[in-house]
Amino acid sequence: MKKPKWIVVTHGGAGSSKKVLDAVTLAARTGMRMLRKKNSALDAVEEAVVVMEDDPRFNAGTGSVFRIDGTIEMDASLMDSEFHCGAVATIKGVRNPIRVARKVLESPHILLAGSGATEFARRMGFTYHSPVTRRALRRLSRVQGWLRSGRLPKYAHKWKSYSLDTVGAVAMDSRGIFATSSSTGGTSIALPGRVGDTPLIGCGIYAGPCGAVSVTGVGEAIIRQVLSKSVYDKLVAGRSASEACKWGISLYDPSIPMGIIVVNADSGAGASNTGMPVCILAR
């Protein structure tokens, strides 16, 4: 069978509703348009994620959930198979954390966090943007109600009550370079300063000469398995994109929402143990 020239796979988060599939598809089409115009896989995964960060239905960029103290902190990262990588953690007040992560990638550093990340963004020309939405405010008031009443959902059996809908993309360009990206507002019941898998290379994302991986779900569970690198290693061992996704999901109890997207030179694939809107486009 003829190998595809370009591939883009996007997801709208483990546990997200199918109702956001329109934006997940628009994100993938945006990525494909970039590739058709001879942009890099890195450009494609950045622009795909920007589409979802700008859609207030996702927990990324505008629409990100609040921490329990009523602040919004966002994480984002991207990487390509030539090992260029950049990430931001707990950044505040920017419209597109993924664009700041791209600027970090172009700097001598890989990960900037907290006030340093926000200050870096301002110096790079990213003006203040409030990511607050009515939906996130409603969620904050529900969570603060839980906390006040002492009915905080417990880890491992009520993860589905957390907000997890991270967004992500993987792509292959016409040069055979792979790239991956991810962006999130984190989980909605979290302390300020909490960092999940998304900005950690090897956990939320990984790319190398055999393909690219982006994952979504409970950050703490993903970090323990160094999930993206572990799934990538299955590609190195010769497994297909679909087999690698399924293997990654099999590591988790079904009560822990988890989703994985993968691209290699043959195909793109996605798998999840819960609802996860995915779009796979190849040409």
Residue 274 known to be catalytic: no
Least separation in angstroms between CB 5 and ligand GLY: 31
Least separation in angstroms between CB 75 and ligand GLY: 6
Please state, in angstroms and rounded to a whole number, the distance separating the CA atoms of residues 60 and 141. 19
Of 40 and 182, CB closest to ligand GLY? 182
Which of 10, 30, 90, 166 is labelled catalytic?
Answer: 166
Angle (CA) 161-26-54 rounded to 5° is: 60
Least separation in angstroms between CB 172 and ligand GLY: 23
Of 61 and 217, CB closest to ligand GLY? 217
Angle (CA) 252-255-261 rounded to 5° is: 50
* Packing angle of the helix pair 227-236, 241-250 (nearest 10 deg): 140
Backbone angles phi, psi at 191, to 5 degrees: -70, 150
Least separation in angstroms between CB 177 and ligand GLY: 25
Of 40 and 198, CB closest to ligand GLY? 198
Least separation in angstroms between CB 187 and ligand GLY: 5
Of 10 and 216, CB closest to ligand GLY? 216
Spatial neighbors of 261 by CB under 8 A, at least 6 apart, are 9, 10, 11, 168, 169, 170, 213, 214, 215, 245, 268, 269, 270, 278
Of 223 and 265, CB closest to ligand GLY? 223
Please state, in angstroms and rounded to a whole number, the distance separating the CA atoms of residues 252 and 274. 12
Residues within the interface to ligand GLY (CB under 6 A): 166, 184, 186-187, 196-198, 216-219
CA dihedral 110, 113, 118, 121 (to 10 degrees): 0
User: Which are the catalytic amino acids?
Assistant: 166
